[in-house]
Structure 1
Amino acid sequence: MSKLTPREILQAGRVVPVIAIDDIETAVDLAHALVEGGIPTLEITLRTEHGLEAIRRIKREVKGAIVGAGTVVNGEQLKQVADAGAEFAISPGFNIKLAQAAQTMAGSIHMIPGIATPGELMLALEHGIDTLKLFPAEVVGGKAMLKALYGPFADVRFCPTGGITPQSAPEYLALPNVLCVGGTWLTPKDAVKNRDWNTITKLAKEAAALQPAK
């Protein structure tokens, strides 16, 4: 179990990269490049067959990385990523079964569920979870949605993900209920495939330097 709280995990960097590992041999070097650039919180998705092994390797070999799992959609996967060493798990949505699994495993892994509606948000609160992902952020209203949710749910904090760019990120970061943003732009497929780690580190440094819009 991570000693960090979910909010501390998300606040460790301005951006949480959403990472799909296509070649397991790139996982550790990719993680090193991101951490070197000032992006320590890494969401390794289960979208490819290498997700669990990538979590294991990065957790074991990359000092300073805060390793989590993404695209966790059921209790079985939640247990698998916890066993692999993930410190947190992020889901694209939330339902009662996943909420119950998260509550059962609260002592071994942090759950940061994705929500798109006030109802899902209230389900999370009922199960003691107040740090969430808004997904897919741009599709469900983006900044306007977050501003609307802040009224009745001022104590809830978010990592909006989905359609966010380096250009739009500062406007999200300026909102009082946003801790960070999630995005895929830090790990371009061509750069990873070509093992262009300097480019990855450069993108990470730029992301780490993002400031809230004034």
Structure 2
Amino acid sequence: MASVLEGDKDEDDHDDNTKLKTMSLQQERKMLPIDALREELIQVINDHQIVVVVGETGSGKTTQIPQYLYEAGYTKLGKIGCTQPHGVATMSVASRVAQEMGVKLGHDVGYSVEFEDCTYHKTVLTYMTDAVCLREFMEEPDLASYSCNVCTEILTLSPNLMKEKVVYHHGRCLPEPGAWCNQYVSCPSFKSWG
């Protein structure tokens, strides 16, 4: 009986440690430069179909913007997609966001890379490689199942693909950085410096 109680205590300790870790991650989120601009950013996104977000590495663009959209209710209208140019970065960022949100990777938050899909039908925030994004676009040209797409490092995407996504997508598209997007579409630029 003592071992069962100890097991329960260990499980409770694990739950407490998970809660403490999540709280610590929430504190880290609040310290990121982009957090100070959160409300303004959401308003700009609400007001425009396309928004360019420019910020230094580590400012929180890739991890925080999709979470802000999630918290603002964008998943009620469809999934949120976030592109990454490389598979390892895609998996790493998805794992970090799942930790920050306190959810199991592959459930609310998942990733899809060339030979691995860690999502299921109820996943609402999906990090994906550019190649997977292209495949999604080819299978669903209007991207109707998405409410928003956050396209990071769009210099790696084909300008024609980006133009097609912009033309056909009725949700929101948040490309980075500003100089590239301003060549192809007219949209506001939002800056976050760290």
TM-score over 0.5 for the pair: no
Considering fraction of residues, name the structure with more helix: 2
Structure showing the higher strand proportion among its residues: 2
Instruction: Work out which of the two has the higher radius of gyration on C-alpha atoms and give 1 or 2.
Output: 2
Structure-2-length-normalised TM-score: 0.39
Quick one: higher RCO (CA 8 Å, sep 6+), 1 or 2? 2
